[in-house]
Structure 1
Amino acid sequence: MPTETFEFQVEARQLLQLMIHSVYSNKDVFLRELVSNASDALDKLRLAALRDDTLDADTSDPHIEIEADQEARTLTVRDNGIGMSYDEVTQLIGTIANSGTAAFLAELREAQEGAGGDGLIGQFGVGFYSGFMVADEVTLVTRRAGESQGTRWSSRGEGTYTLENVDEAPQGTAVTLHLKPADSENQLHDYTSAWKIKEIVKRYSDFITWPVRLVTAAGDGEDAPEPETLNSMKALWARPRDEVADEDYHELYKHISHDWRDPLETVRLQAEGAFEYQALLFLPAHAPHDLFTRGQRHGLQLFVKRVFIMDDCEELLPPYLRFVKGVVDAQDLSLNVSREILQQDRQIRLMQRRLTKKVLATVKDMRSADPDRYRTFWREFGAVLKEGLVTDADNRAALLAAASFPSTHDAEEPTTLAAYAERMKDGQEHVYYITGQSRESVENSPHMEAFRAKGVEVLLLTDPVDEVWVDTVGEYEGKRLRSVVKGEIDLGGEEDEQKTAEQEKHTEEYAGLLGWMTEHLADDVKEVRLSSRLTVSPACVVSDSEDLTPALENMYRAMGQEVPRAKRILELNPDHQLVKGVRQAYARQGEDLSELTEAAELLYGLALLAEGGQPKDAGRFVKLVADRMERTL
């Protein structure tokens, strides 16, 4: 097949220009990314050879080589791993169609003014292109294990790349960077220098399982020196804690996660006895862009006796801990373990239970040991962790102990349920909460007026998952979780005779109006009644104690589940001048109540708007308001 020339996609060209005119302060990361890619290729070859004993591949000496040529100003990173076919090069290298380029560019623009851009390369799967930060031209030669023909890819990053078949290519992949001139303003270091290569590999890749060897060219008339192995290849999770610096753990995390930030927390676990395994887990400091993307792969790296098995073993942690990164090295699993076997394996289930408990205990301990780090963690991952309150009944108590929630007690500091329970007023039977889209909207809700007036604390829940977990959990230490927008509210407290008399009087005075409004608004509400929760607003709508809220109804419908729409209850504040006026008008009207129909619809519409909803016929509501204003003015 002759050499073919192709054009990069528009976003790929933008990406290449960013690499060529690099915004990154630390260009050393290009070598970290190429070595990491080579290590992945060796992992994949080992796994493929285990699963297919007929694979025609050389696995006798898996390694990574770095070769520098100072005269030619080239740097080559090669491996004898799995390699790529022509089609794979086209898909994975030629187009970067699946590399999240748009999201990468968006985050890169946000990070350009700070140091945040240095690690975004690997995070979005475009680490190969980091070579253009230091090279005028990049050439890749690769042959997939088991195939006879190789592929050459080449580009100067100017909008096109070439592809051709090659007959003579060793198994694996070799990436050759034709480095920019040494005096280039963008070339701060000589990447053909042995000391610089050693420094980068030691800093970023010392823990990689495979040997990383520096190949030095022979001088005139001299034998080529033996390749020098640059990394220790020691598994950090198998080394004593006092022999490993925090920086080493951080670099392993960055290698696994392709995150440029240090992890928020490192979690070590070693299980001994009938089933032995070691785990090294990391809690990130920042939520990934795809945390809530459906179908996105996640999980821990699984090793068996330090042999890499798979990259995203989802069975080791529940889905609500999908943000956790790390490695698990088991001693007693089969090297030929498959995903199907993992799903049924009793040992894997035991590992998941213990790893889950360890992570949740770490989060809980973090809250008391380092409140600032805990606040960062909960801000980034609290919403996804609360999914476990719905799906993981076995760990629900541990999740509630690790969780915190905004409340009316403190505008800045979230509270735990335990702390809320300690502050409950004498005679208070329930833990009260309100759900909504933002703290501002729920704090200003008319449903909160009586609670605010009596100083009763209310949890302010604004994540979508909050609508679900409060119904699923139901109670905390015998105290019911009670929504302030559902059912009738009785906040207790001593009532004097005058107040009691006023309430009885209101009931008698409003009986006729309430019955008429219930009949008139029957298409929308099941009942109109007087409110015990309103002190300032004229009206509000509430759900019956056993009904779904509108937000929860909409959530179920969005998931494809049809649920009947429940009619709600309209509550009126008998002490509000507007409601008093409507009652007086009702008393004057006698049999002819046509003038009050608009007032009833306006009260109902105002109640819907106050909770963040909207009238069924917004146009009619606006017209009613305009007409009323016109007559009043």
Structure 2
Amino acid sequence: MKRQETRGFQSEVKEILHLMIHSLYSKKDIFLRELISNASDAADKLRFCALSQPDLYEEDIELHIRISCDQEKRTITFSDNGIGMRREEVIDNLGTIAKSGTKTFLQSLQSEQLKDNQFIGQFGVGFYSAFVVADQVTVCTRYAGMKAEEGVFWQSTGEGDYTLADITKQNRGTDIVLHLREGEDVFLDSCRLKSFIEKYSDYIDLPVEMEIRGKQLEDNHDEQIITWEKINKAQALWTRSKTQISDDEYKEFYKHFSHDITDPLIWSHNRVEGKQEYTSLLYIPKKAPWDMWNRERKYGLKLYVHRVSVMDDATQFMPNYLRFVKGIIDSNDIPLNVSREMLQDSRITRNLKGYLTKRVLLMLERLAKDDAQKYQSFWVEFGLVLKEGLGEDPTNVTTIAKLIRFASTYNDTSEQTVSLEEYIGRMSIEQEKIYFISADSYAAAKSSPHLELFNKKGIEVLLLSDRIDEWMISYLTEFNGKLLQSVSKSDSFLDKLIDANSDKQKETWKTFEPFVNRVKHYLGDRVKEVRVTHRLIEAPVVVTTGSDDMTTQMAKIFTAAGQAAPDIKYVFELNPEHPIIKRVMNIIDNHDFNDWVELLLDQALLAERGSLNNPHQFIRRVNHLLNRLS
């Protein structure tokens, strides 16, 4: 060996290896799936690169993966004749992890979470799963088209460093030798090993072969005979008829290309012929990845053209709000030399994106209809992401709106389980609109004074408390002919509920008119209007906005985004039946009167906004008035 050196692992790799050695996975055979998957990817890359550089095949065009075990040496060897690696690629792929957020994620892991965590799948470093069962791993590799003496040797015991050197390797591709730990003898049993490999390789579209050793007597000497038995179908799974594919095969294929250790929630396999010919296999995972909100996170489908893998993470075929969808698309209409820029501007791409988006939404519609409990588990994981679709995808707003779930006053729980269709089904004939309230939290929404009249009248109100909700609802103005209305805004239907034009209400207004004018005179242009209201039951005051004004929650969104939000002028509404209002109405001293008005206004603003511009002044005023009352 030449240019031999010892190099230290990147710190994140050391932590991963520590987790691997201490049994990250409860199912240890997972290393077989990861290494077979990596070998398959190497073959895909060779096929693609050889389209423009056919010499890379080096007169060996029959691609395969070969696996052998040696019971005496306690080794399992994985060999492929795919693209291979250069020296710098070995360092980059086996010694470092460049993925953004890796360190943060590692620090957040708790030891009791490790066994069932989708750890390897999150980073695409399945190679390290070899250390679950091996105390030493050796890699010999050579990049296709390079000279035999430009092979690379890599070896490590999974501790703090690894050995790197140049070697001579006649065949292109990669050989990985695992020296098994004590206690991992199950993988040295050829029958058990074969069954494991069958499980993880049936969907691989190139031969996966296992070494068969035999003996024959020749010239009075035993001669070792080695043959290779193909143990998979060697046909791309998505090219087979759906009737020929079992659920287990669909699940294993998902784990193969997604590196997820859990089964998918649902999937859809479709072959389309006509103006555009393509096959799609789309999966929705059970669990959201930890970095779902990381802007640098890659998403998208794996793109094949005539069954040749040409691109991973093809975002052009799936809208951002469906970024949790995983799968493949195999098109006959896209050129093999396609680039991301060509895809972005292609009519074919836009059409395919439309078809695939509708396919995913149809999957979710069927799930919601056929299995509400299963759909609820989807909503818990991906509901926040799906809400983005109302603003991003105007074409499918109606379909997406059917899939949105809300908390509401109908249920005494913060779980978002109520659909708009269910809400409308419970509406009375007289109710004209769908009512909602948005706040910083479920508790704040549920306890808002705006709900008092609705609760008394038995009118259901949707409770919106996710940060995205106010933005989302601005794109959802109506559903099935029913307008959506915030209960914190002025509304004509409320006047009907409280019979605002009755003789009693008119009499109340006359009685309180001087008081209202006095409050209005003091507050001036700090409020849009002051008036008495009969929407309140227990609260003395509330602030509302006009039907065309910006809501409090929308203003918060602007502020959080670093944008200047317009100053909201609230309507200050007073409850004439409340004893505090009756008490303040009879205060003659202007100083005391003004203090009480300030206190009441701050109280209403605190309930509406969750904060005050000057909380210390509010506290001093409360203490001052309490002291005077005593």
- Same fold, TM-score > 0.5, yes or no: yes
Distance 1:415 1:91, change over 3 A: same
**Are 2:465 and 1:462 aligned?**
yes
Paired with 1:54 and 1:204, the residues of 2 have a C-alpha distance of 31
Shift in Å at residue 44 of structure 1? 2.0
Identify the residue that residue 628 of structure 2 maps to in structure 1: 631
What residue identity is the alignment partner of 2:186? D
Identify the residue that residue 215 of structure 1 maps to in structure 2: 211
Paired with 1:84 and 1:390, the residues of 2 have a C-alpha distance of 44
Q: Is the contact between residue 120 and residue 258 of structure 1 (CA under 8 Å) also seen in structure 2?
A: no
Q: Is the contact between residue 154 and residue 163 of structure 1 (CA under 8 Å) also seen in structure 2?
A: yes
Identify the residue that residue 218 of structure 2 maps to in structure 1: none
Structure 1: 5+ residue runs without aligned partners? none
**Are 2:136 and 1:137 aligned?**
yes
Shift in Å at residue 23 of structure 1? 4.3
Paired with 1:523 and 1:617, the residues of 2 have a C-alpha distance of 19
Q: 1:196 aligns with which of 171, 182, 192?
A: 192
Q: Is the contact between residue 206 and residue 235 of structure 2 (CA under 8 Å) also seen in structure 1?
A: no
Shift in Å at residue 504 of structure 1? 2.2
Q: Is the contact between residue 266 and residue 283 of structure 2 (CA under 8 Å) also seen in structure 1?
A: yes
Q: Which stretch of structure 1 is more off in the superposition, 205-214 or 420-429? A: 420-429
**Are 2:451 and 1:448 aligned?**
yes
Shift in Å at residue 102 of structure 1? 4.3
What residue identity is the alignment partner of 2:422? A
Q: Which stretch of structure 1 is more off in the superposition, 553-562 or 435-444? A: 553-562
Matches within 5 A, 1:241-252: 241-252=242-253
**Are 2:599 and 1:595 aligned?**
no
Q: Is the contact between residue 123 and residue 257 of structure 1 (CA under 8 Å) also seen in structure 2?
A: no
Shift in Å at residue 180 of structure 1? 1.4
Deviations 1:282-337, CA, capped at 9 Å, x for gaps? 12112221222213111112222222222212122211111111122222322222
**Are 2:491 and 1:480 aligned?**
no
Identify the residue that residue 384 of structure 2 maps to in structure 1: 383
How many residues end up aligned between the 2 structures?
Answer: 619
Q: Secondary structure at the match of 1:26?
A: coil
Deviations 1:201-244, CA, capped at 9 Å, x for gaps? 11122101222222356768535423222221222222222222
Identify the residue that residue 89 of structure 1 maps to in structure 2: 90
Q: Is the contact between residue 543 and residue 549 of structure 1 (CA under 8 Å) also seen in structure 2?
A: yes
Q: Secondary structure at the match of 2:46?
A: helix
Identify the residue that residue 490 of structure 1 maps to in structure 2: 493
Identify the residue that residue 582 of structure 2 maps to in structure 1: 580
Shift in Å at residue 277 of structure 1? 1.5
Q: Is the contact between residue 269 and residue 279 of structure 1 (CA under 8 Å) also seen in structure 2?
A: yes
Q: Is the contact between residue 17 and residue 158 of structure 2 (CA under 8 Å) also seen in structure 1?
A: yes
Q: Secondary structure at the match of 2:586?
A: helix
Shift in Å at residue 624 of structure 1? 1.7
What residue identity is the alignment partner of 1:76? T
Matches within 5 A, 1:370-449: 370-411=371-412, 414-449=417-452
What residue identity is the alignment partner of 1:208? I
Deviations 1:428-447, CA, capped at 9 Å, x for gaps? 22111111233322111111
Distance 1:485 1:54, change over 3 A: farther
Q: Secondary structure at the match of 1:546?
A: coil
Paired with 1:266 and 1:475, the residues of 2 have a C-alpha distance of 31
Q: 1:111 aligns with which of 106, 110, 113?
A: 113
Structure 2: 5+ residue runs without aligned partners? 216-220
What residue identity is the alignment partner of 1:30? F
Identify the residue that residue 565 of structure 1 maps to in structure 2: 567
Shift in Å at residue 405 of structure 1? 2.4
Deviations 1:527-566, CA, capped at 9 Å, x for gaps? 3332343211122222222222232223234445444333
Paired with 2:563 and 2:52, the residues of 1 have a C-alpha distance of 41
Paired with 1:282 and 1:365, the residues of 2 have a C-alpha distance of 14
Paired with 1:54 and 1:252, the residues of 2 have a C-alpha distance of 31
Q: TM-score, normalised by structure 1?
A: 0.90
Q: Is the contact between residue 64 and residue 208 of structure 2 (CA under 8 Å) also seen in structure 1?
A: yes
Identify the residue that residue 551 of structure 1 maps to in structure 2: 553
Paired with 2:277 and 2:489, the residues of 1 have a C-alpha distance of 51
Q: Is the contact between residue 104 and residue 120 of structure 1 (CA under 8 Å) also seen in structure 2?
A: no
Paired with 2:141 and 2:329, the residues of 1 have a C-alpha distance of 31
**Are 2:124 and 1:125 aligned?**
yes
Paired with 2:616 and 2:34, the residues of 1 have a C-alpha distance of 58
Q: Is the contact between residue 361 and residue 402 of structure 1 (CA under 8 Å) also seen in structure 2?
A: no
Identify the residue that residue 40 of structure 1 maps to in structure 2: 41
Distance 1:389 1:315, change over 3 A: same
Shift in Å at residue 33 of structure 1? 0.7
Distance 1:496 1:140, change over 3 A: closer
Identify the residue that residue 226 of structure 1 maps to in structure 2: 227
Identify the residue that residue 68 of structure 1 maps to in structure 2: 69
Shift in Å at residue 618 of structure 1? 1.5
What residue identity is the alignment partner of 2:628? R
Q: Which stretch of structure 1 is more off in the superposition, 82-91 or 358-367? A: 82-91
Q: Is the contact between residue 142 and residue 169 of structure 1 (CA under 8 Å) also seen in structure 2?
A: no
Matches within 5 A, 1:334-345: 334-345=335-346
Paired with 1:603 and 1:142, the residues of 2 have a C-alpha distance of 76
Q: Which stretch of structure 1 is more off in the superposition, 48-57 or 617-626? A: 48-57
Paired with 2:349 and 2:378, the residues of 1 have a C-alpha distance of 27
Q: TM-score, normalised by structure 2?
A: 0.91
Q: Secondary structure at the match of 1:420?
A: helix
Q: Is the contact between residue 7 and residue 159 of structure 1 (CA under 8 Å) also seen in structure 2?
A: yes
Deviations 1:155-202, CA, capped at 9 Å, x for gaps? 212222233333546433222212113xx3xx2x43233223211111
Distance 1:59 1:516, change over 3 A: farther
Q: Is the contact between residue 68 and residue 216 of structure 1 (CA under 8 Å) also seen in structure 2?
A: no
Shift in Å at residue 448 of structure 1? 0.8
Q: Secondary structure at the match of 2:474?
A: helix
Q: Is the contact between residue 487 and residue 545 of structure 1 (CA under 8 Å) also seen in structure 2?
A: yes
Paired with 1:482 and 1:166, the residues of 2 have a C-alpha distance of 72
Matches within 5 A, 1:239-388: 239-388=240-389
